């Protein structure tokens, strides 16, 4: 059963239950109050006729005939007919003796004083001449009274049916309105299943369905971005693989045909291209292990100063060749930190290598280590070209190129690998940069 039908049925059941309970309550209240109204009216008429009769005749002889003439007592039963139902009122004289029977009282029976005290006294010329006592019996209803109650009941029935129809219509409309976001989400999800990842739904409320729609839109945008990033990374990796393979293939083909002589320089060139391929494959393997949650850390206590110094020594010759000053600053009394030395060196190498590519001759690269709020902070700062503001949010994405014209020897995976390794340590990596003023990468590791 579709959700719209189920909700409509639920609204209808709830509405019918509420309407039914209201109708029963109204019917019961109306019947009870109408009976009470008839009793009060008949009692008032009974007292009025009895008072007028005694005021005229100065006794109670023949009062039953007067009451019967006004319809306050039923006609006398004919021989062989069913006796009339007990009457709701009893008339007793000044001595408490029954004059007009009612209920279980009989003619000439004396009504107890306690019962008389609860009745309505009848006075004539300032003296008490009788009492009207209610027996608790419901007064007989006339045909007009019954027709009135029947009319009320018919009105209740019509109102209940009308309410049920309105409840069904409103329930259907409300159910359709509630399920419309779900239908839109279903259609968008099916489109995503067909490969159309960039789907959005209209969010028209701030309730749980609205939050679900917003979450879906965010998920769709993230998936579309991830898919776009994956395609870009695939194209970049294919380009990065093709270049060295083209160089190696060209050299080998020329050497095989005898067009080129085998020289140490040419073998070194081919070897350099092979090393580039190996680095690219290693980067891809590192990222695949990180994605699969299988990138294990071999933690050990490492002195931050030794870590930075080892990286500085590895890049000292290259920095000297490019005319770049490479320095190290280590805060005093830095304690050892539990790190994977090899992986963290890989992070710093990626950051320093990135700084080397964007820092001109005469520039400076400075590595630093310090403690801040209980965390170990490693930084790599350069005086290079900086990063455009629009590129900063994407700088750690895989194969993202802030400068599309960069040389083909960069895989574009270095910063993504650095981010994965730092997060595996439970830390975070950040970047601060302004175009023309250089960049500063911060690695924050909890200790």
**Separation of CA 249 from chain center:** 58
Instruction: Tell me, yes or no, whether 259 and 276 share the same domain.
Output: yes
Instruction: Tell me, yes or no, whether 15 and 108 share the same domain.
Output: yes
Q: What are the backbone dihedrals phi and psi of residue 368, each rounded to the nearest 5 degrees, phi first?
A: -140, 155
Q: Model-level pTM?
A: 0.53
Confidence of residue 402 (pLDDT cuts 50, 70, 90): low
CA distances from 400 to 271, 392, 403, 415 (A): 27, 11, 9, 9
Instruction: Tell me, yes or no, whether 315 and 441 share the same domain.
Output: yes
Query: Which of 342, 360, 319, 308 is CA-nearest to residue 417?
Result: 342
Tell whether 173 is covered by a domain: no
Residue 125: exposure state from Cβ atoms within 10 A (0-12, 13-18, ≥19): exposed
Tell whether 404 is covered by a domain: yes
Boundary (domain end) residue, out of 123, 143, 163: 143
b/e code 40-60 from CB counts within 10 Å (16+ = b): eebbeebbebbbebbeeeeeb
Boundary (domain end) residue, out of 291, 321, 346: 291
Q: Token pair of 375, please? A: 């965390």
Task: Count the domains in the chain.
Answer: 3
Tell whether 357 is covered by a domain: yes
User: Is the pLDDT assigned to residue 407 strictly greater than 50?
Assistant: no
Instruction: Tell me, yes or no, whether 136 and 252 share the same domain.
Output: no
Between 445 and 173, residue with greater pLDDT: 445
Tell whether 168 is covered by a domain: no
Tell whether 158 is covered by a domain: no
User: Is the pLDDT assigned to residue 79 strictly greater than 80?
Assistant: no
Most confidently modeled range among 134-138, 358-362, 414-418: 358-362
User: Is the pLDDT assigned to residue 204 strictly greater than 80?
Assistant: no
Instruction: Tell me, yes or no, whether 311 and 425 share the same domain.
Output: yes
Instruction: Tell me, yes or no, whether 128 and 225 share the same domain.
Output: no
Boundary (domain end) residue, out of 247, 268, 291: 291
261 is in which domain, residue-wise? 208-291
List alpha helices for 58-142, DSSP H: 63-69, 113-117
Return the CATH number at 34: 3.30.450
Instruction: Tell me, yes or no, whether 304 and 442 share the same domain.
Output: yes
User: Is the pLDDT assigned to residue 406 strictly greater than 50?
Assistant: no
Confidence of residue 362 (pLDDT cuts 50, 70, 90): very high
Instruction: Tell me, yes or no, whether 92 and 215 share the same domain.
Output: no
Tell whether 14 is covered by a domain: yes
Instruction: Tell me, yes or no, whether 20 and 121 share the same domain.
Output: yes
Choice among 14-18, 113-117, 319-323 with the minimum mean pLDDT: 14-18
User: Is the pLDDT assigned to residue 383 strictly greater than 90?
Assistant: yes
Tell whether 380 is covered by a domain: yes
What pLDDT is recorded for position 83? 52
Return the CATH number at 362: 3.30.565.10
Mean pLDDT, residues 74-95 taken together: 70
Instruction: Tell me, yes or no, whether 259 and 133 share the same domain.
Output: no
CA distance 222 to 240: 26
Q: Token pair of 89, please? A: 């009122």
Tell whether 187 is covered by a domain: no
User: Is the pLDDT assigned to residue 390 strictly greater than 80?
Assistant: yes
Instruction: Tell me, yes or no, whether 275 and 310 share the same domain.
Output: no
Instruction: Tell me, yes or no, whether 71 and 105 share the same domain.
Output: yes
């Amino acid at each position: 059963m579709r959700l719209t039908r189920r909700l409509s049925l639920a609204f209808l059941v709830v509405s019918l239950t509420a309407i039914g309970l209201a109708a029963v309550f109204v019917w019961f209240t109306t019947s009870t109050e109408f009976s009470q109204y008839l009793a009060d009216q008949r009692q008032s008429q009974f007292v009025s006729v009895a008072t007028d009769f005694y005021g005229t005749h100065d006794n109670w002889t023949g009062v039953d005939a007067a009451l019967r003439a006004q319809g306050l007592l039923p006609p006398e039963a004919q021989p062989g007919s069913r006796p009339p139902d007990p009457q709701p009122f009893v008339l007793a004289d000044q001595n408490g003796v029954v004059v007009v029977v009612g209920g279980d009282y009989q003619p000439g029976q004396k009504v107890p004083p306690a019962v008389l005290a609860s009745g309505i006294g009848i006075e004539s010329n300032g003296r008490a001449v009788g009492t009207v006592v209610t027996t608790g019996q419901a007064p007989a209803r006339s045909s007009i009274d019954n027709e009135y109650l029947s009319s009320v009941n018919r009105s209740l029935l019509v109102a209940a049916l009308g309410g049920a129809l309105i409840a069904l219509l409103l329930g259907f409309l409300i159910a359709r309105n509630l399920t419309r976001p779900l239908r839109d989400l279903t259609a968008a999800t099916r489109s995503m299943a067909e490969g159309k990842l960039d789907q959005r739904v209209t969010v028209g409320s701030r309730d749980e369905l609205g939050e679900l729609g917003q979450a879906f839109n965010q998920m769709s945008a993230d998936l579309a971005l991830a898919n776009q990033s994956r395609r870009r990374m695939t194209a970049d990796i294919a380009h990065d693989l093709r270049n060295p393979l083209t160089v190696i293939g060209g050299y080998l083909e020329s050497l095989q045909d005898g067009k080129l002589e085998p020289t140490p320089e040419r073998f070194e060139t081919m070897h350099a291209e092979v090393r580039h391929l190996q680095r690219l494959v290693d980067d891809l393997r590192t990222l695949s292990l990180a994605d699969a949650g299988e990138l294990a850390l071999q933690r050990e206590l490492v002195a931050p100063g030794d870590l930075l110094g080892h990286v500085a020594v590895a890049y000292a010759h290259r920095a000297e060749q490019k005319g770049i000053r490479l320095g190290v600053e280590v805060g005093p009394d830095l304690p050892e930190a539990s790190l994977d030395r090899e992986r963290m060196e890989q992070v710093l190498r990626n950051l320093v290598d990135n700084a080397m590519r964007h820092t001109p001759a005469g520039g400076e690269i400075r590595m630093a280590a310090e403690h801040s709020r209980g965390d170990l902070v490693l930084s790599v700062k350069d005086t290079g070209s900086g990063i455009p503001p629009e590129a900063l949010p994407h700088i750690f994405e895989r194969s993202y190129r802030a400068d599309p014209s960069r040389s083909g020897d960069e895989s574009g995976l270095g910063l993504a690998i650095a981010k994965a390794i730092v997060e595996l340590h439970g830390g975070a990596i950040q970047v601060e940069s302004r175009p023309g003023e250089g960049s500063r990468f911060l690695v924050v590791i909890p200790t």
